[in-house]
Chains A and B, each alone.
Chain A
Amino acid sequence: MFSGIRRSIHRKLMSIIMLSAALALIMACSAFAVYEFITHRDSAARELEIIAQLVGESTAASLAFDDERSAADALHALSTESRIVAGCLYTRKGEVFASYGSAGPRACPKLTAQDRPLDENGYQTLFHQVRLDGGFVGTLYLRASLTGFWERARRYSLIATGILALTLLVVYLVSSRLQRLISGPILHLAATASQVSDDRNYALRAEKTVDDELGVLVDQFNEMMGTIEARNQDLLDAHNELERRVRERTVALEAEVAERRRVETDLLAAKQIAEASSLAKSRFLANMSHELRTPLNAVIGYAEMLREEAVVESRLADVRDLDRIHAAAKHLLTLINDILDISKIEAGKTVLNWETVEVVSLAREVVNTVEPMARERGNQLIIRGAGLDGTIRADLTKFRQSLLNLLSNACKFTENGEVSLEVTREYDGNQDWMLWKVRDTGIGIPKEQQHLLFQAFSQVDNSASRKYNGSGLGLAISQRFCQMMGGEIQVSSQVGQGSEFTVRMPAFAAEEELNEVQGKNR
């Protein structure tokens, strides 16, 4: 490949130099040859004219005196000029008077008006007017050969060819050395570029040997290589950096994934343990509640029985003590029931038994139930509201328990005040609601503690539940019950002003049976 370029550039350069030299020489030689030819022909023509003048002068008298003999002699003198091959002398009338040459008078052309010198093929001809004392006496015709000229021309061209050959030889020898000045750097550059493209080695540089345009070319090539090398290095660096980052990220991700998997496994295990322990706790609580209630039944039952007897026998001190035993046992029972309820809720074992209940009778029932407690604390207990007509659909036991919880709380935390149960209806643009509002004028609940009210095992104030004989689970249980029935309990309260707990229950089911119930009532 390189030898191909080498040969090509060598040959091209050599050819150019040789061709230029040859052309220059040929043009020079041709110019000389043409010049020589023209000069030679002109001088020959002038020579012929001089000869014609001389012969004319010497033959003018012979013509005037009609002396053929002296004319022939004079013509014969032409033989000294070897190149003159024919000569004719004409009279005034144009008849051949004398002739010279091997062909004799036959070689003499007929005279016409035309007497200009003619260049025939290889010959020069001339017509000369012979005058004597200014008078026209006849015409001289000369015909000369150009043979000597062609001889000369052949010699000339031989010499020119020799010079050409010699010159080209010298040019070849000199240029074959000198062309390296140009082809050398180019070939070096080509070889370097070739190596670069083969080896992908961008650190290679061409060597600068000359300071001309080729030197500039080498400089630019090297500069370009520098740029490429720098860019290549940048690319390589970027590539390496990228690879390094990818490696790092991969390692980090793998670690992260492993960590997450571990955490997930741990969480799953923890969740299973928690679920299992939650279930175990619920079962344990359910069983324990059952076991606790059996002896408690006896305690409550005997206390009630003995109290009845004590009342009959008017033993008032015993009645008071038995009341205390009874109250304590009842409290214990409430605690146990609450714990059972909440553990069932948390174990997801609570089942709803839907019933349709008349609102009025339910309201009366729950109010009657808490009536003794309200009276005990000097509270007025009131039922009001426009929503008392009709029915509500709910799990009666759980809904009643929720209402009783709210009402007994209201009674507990209010003294010499008012506790009311108000039933209203509301349409929120989407569905009908029945609102059961339990309002009291009691101590109220601080704002920051209200959100804790409905959380199991996280009471607003444990001392309160102790003081007021509750488990602290009642609200949590009631809230969950109402939520299971599609409703909820909301609270609004101000310390010292009282509290209002609102049970929002869906009323859509109740509406369906409203007409039926109203019809019955009529």
Chain B
Amino acid sequence: MIETATSNQLPSGQQPAARILLVEDNEMNSDMLSRRLSKRGYHVDIAPDGKQGIQSAQQLQPDLILMDMSLPEIDGWEATRRLKCDPQTSRIPVIGLTAHAMAEDRERALSAGCDDYDTKPVDMNRLLQKIELMLGKSASVTEQRG
């Protein structure tokens, strides 16, 4: 159910690979995105819909979630809302992804609890910047807490 692509290339530094949960229903997109992220040293898990995305997040406790907003079963907005309500998963940063480029989509994503937002097709460099920013942020939060 959960595919795992392992990294063969670590990001800068010798830290263990960050774990990213990609919630995406389009098989081609999830395959392509997970492979590209894996190449950059991330450990990527994939969930094909919102319901399984929530389960995976609870089980796997990823460092970051890439959430497609248009999903079957439970859509990305609802899934994000639930994740942010659950104390188990609320600290995990969520980057919303949508093919809609409308401003209201961005607002909607942020109000559902997404920490950031990007549009598809992804600009790999921009997405990587956002991922790094989120991971750095959450790491500092974790450190403060720890």
Contacts and interface: CB of A to CB of B under 8 A. Distances in A.
A295 B35 CA distance: 17
A296 B103 contact: no
B28 interface: yes
Nearest to B124: A304
B28 A298 contact: yes
Interface residue SS majority, chain B: helix
B137 interface: no
Interface in A267-311: 290, 293-298, 300-302, 304-305, 308
B100 to A, nearest CB: 7
B10 interface: no
Given A297-B120, A297-B121, A305 B32 contact: yes
The interface centre, meaning the residue of B33, B99, B106, B107 with most chain A CB atoms within 10 A of its CB, is B99
B42 to A, nearest CB: 14
Contacts of A294: 26, 29, 99, 120
Interface in B102-122: 102-104, 106-107, 120-122
Contacts, number: 52
Contact of A290 (B100, B121, B124): B100
A344 interface: yes
B86 to A, nearest CB: 29
B101 A297 contact: no
A384 B28 CA distance: 45
Contacts of B29: 294, 297-298, 301
Contact of B36 (A305, A352, A395): A305
A449 to B, nearest CB: 30
Interface in A376-412: 395, 397
Nearest to B27: A298
Interface bin, chain A: 20 to 34
A297 B101 CA distance: 13
Nearest to A300: B121
B82 interface: no
B32 A298 contact: yes
A340 interface: yes
Contacts of A300: 121
B104 A293 contact: no
B51 interface: no
B9 to A, nearest CB: 11
Contacts of B106: 353
Given A298-B26, A298-B29, A305-B35, A333 B121 contact: yes
Contact of A351 (B32, B35, B103): B103
Interface bin, chain B: 20 to 34
Contacts of A353: 103, 106-107
Contacts of B26: 294, 297-298
A299 to B, nearest CB: 8
A176 interface: no
Interface of A: 290, 293-298, 300-302, 304-305, 308, 333, 337, 340, 344, 349, 351-353, 395, 397
28 contacts: A290-B99, A290-B100, A293-B99, A294-B26, A294-B99, A295-B28, A297-B120, A297-B121, A298-B26, A298-B28, A298-B29, A300-B121, A301-B32, A302-B28, A304-B124, A305-B32, A305-B36, A308-B36, A308-B39, A333-B121, A337-B101, A344-B102, A351-B102, A351-B104, A353-B103, A353-B107, A395-B103, A397-B103
Given A297-B121, A304-B124, A353-B107, 20 more contacts: A290-B100, A293-B121, A294-B29, A295-B28, A297-B120, A298-B29, A298-B32, A301-B32, A301-B33, A301-B121, A301-B122, A302-B28, A302-B32, A304-B36, A305-B35, A308-B36, A308-B39, A351-B103, A395-B103, A397-B103
